[in-house]
Amino acid sequence: MMRVLFSGGVFAAVFALASFASAADTLLEGEVNSLSGEKVDLSKYKGKVVLVVNVASKCGKTPQYKPLQALYEKYHDEGLEVVGFPCNQFGGQEPGTALEIQEFCTDKYNVSFDMMEKINVNGPETAAVYKKLKSFQQDPGDVKWNFEKFLIDRDGKVVARFRTKIEPDSPEVVQAIESQLKKD
């Protein structure tokens, strides 16, 4: 009898871990709000390669918007999506309203990739999508600053994480994107 209970407990623990792993492995579930306030179902990105970036308008790294837009324009037809999440947690460098952020991105950088509402990427109010992003097994942990980039494959799994100092058009990022776009 003890053996049956122990086996059942092990099975339940393994099943629970497997369920947690599969939920954490896919980022393309759930909803977020766009910068304009519309609901966005993350499943719209299934089958695409996605570069997720926490952004800010008043940061020394804000010029990264330009190469992010260039990547989007160059690779969008091959299946790349770039998704920006404004965040005001690092030095208060994204204090604007949704409208101010949208106007800044459009007027200054001609951003046409998807921009979502302002969120928290760290702390107790961390957005669900960032909780999943930050659990990336090869490089887990909190986001350190604005313009940290996560690359998600067509199956919704994080395959690379690029810290702030790595520019979007660096060979490292471009090679990772091109490699994922070649996969079916």
Between CA 180 and CA 11 the distance in angstroms is 35
90 Cβ contact list (under 8 Å, min separation 6): 56, 59, 145, 146
Between CA 76 and CA 39 the distance in angstroms is 22
Catalytic residue among 59, 80, 82, 105: 59
59 in catalytic set:
yes
State how beta strands 114-115 and 39-41 pair: unpaired
Task: Supply the residues annotated as catalytic.
Answer: 59
